[in-house]
Chain A
Amino acid sequence: MVNSSVPSSVNGDGPPTYGGFVRIVKASKWFGSTRVFENIDMVVDRGKVLCIIGPSGAGKSTLLRCINSLERLSAGRIYVGGELMGFRERGDKLYELTDKQISAQRSKIGMVFQRFNLFPHMTAIQNVAEAPIRVLHQDKADVMRRSRELLARVGLSDKEKAYPAHLSGGQQQRVAIARALALQPQLMLFDEPTSALDPELCGEVLDVMRQLAHHGITMIVVTHEMGFARDVGDEVVFMDGGAVVEQGTPTDVLEHPAEERTKKFLGSVLGRSPSAV
């Protein structure tokens, strides 16, 4: 907790591409004097699924938003595919990236939000096709064909021309996943994708996410769905109070938690003792 500066091992070593596709190194974030999280270290290998669980206010979502620079870290570094997010490192100095450079970094990362955030003035297919056409300047006919395929992949072929207001929450979230996939991202971030959904609509969204995991897309998922974390996660991280309390395989963390805080959290979430998961 004492060390909030950057460790020397990261300093000036050039991009540390070793060990992990996503590397979060000594990451800390404050809003003014309020600490959100501190000294977080995480590594996600290519093609793996990392699930972050924990009570609200643990700093999970903010950490996720720091990965694609929607929030700025107060200290530490985040690397995706060997590339430092948000800054350029030259010698021991950091240079802020411009809006366009940060945007280019973000276009390689897909993100799905709790509240879907579909563009309401565009149809489902326009939502999916917007970024590939406007950001990557890809051929329009080509993008439309691929967008159609993506909507089919999330089971919404028949909703192509529907506006978000005419779709159910689960359908909107599936369009949002298709929109994020349209940029062919190297990494997908999910910020509590089922928390705003009625229980009976969660399944269809989780199914799509399962399917993605099987296709080998690297995913970081902040979730309250313990079943999903257990079945799909390669690794589970339990965060509380702005720190990583416990991390390991789903079996380790969810079924045989070592820490008292983890046991307590799982007990309250599942309404029974963790061993019964």
Chain B
Amino acid sequence: MIKAILVFNNHGKPRLSKFYQYFDESLQQQIIKETFQLVSKRDDNVCNFLEGGSLIGGSDYKLIYRHYATLYFVFCVDSSESELGILDLIQVFVETLDKCFENVCELDLIFHADAVHHILSELVMGGMVLQTNMNDIITRIEDQNKLIKQESGISAAPARAVSVVKSMNIPQQIKDIKLPDLPQAIKDLKF
């Protein structure tokens, strides 16, 4: 089982945190912080395994991480996972991100944290490895993105149609309507 997946940068700023066991927010932050402290003082040429100690779960758990440029990808796993297997999983994850974002960089993770989550959910589900084949993962993600595009097409269509019919001069309309007042009025009506 994977207990947590953390991505943070060289300064310890979290870029993605996924806990497969419940911790409250402050504890999560503490775990991220401690993990960062553990991982960041290690050289790049040392091994990628770390005994997590008391951090999460105790002696049965290991931290397995990889460091790519500015980002650390840390998986906290128990003894049922193969160490080298998880290292490869991290690689698959990063390569998938690379494919999905086209030359992924930290900024992609910052601004598309949700997308990263969606990608991750195709690799790991509830702490168990779901899919390790990158092509399959990418197919799933593309399918879902297509679905989203379709939906936004459908749902945006009536709105677009309405707006086109109503007026071509939308900016003017906005000014005329005095937007700030109207929502307030609506709110007043309702509540």
Q: Bound pair: A and B?
A: no
Seen from chain A, the residues whose Cβ lies within 8 Å of a Cβ on chain B are none
Seen from chain B, the residues whose Cβ lies within 8 Å of a Cβ on chain A are none
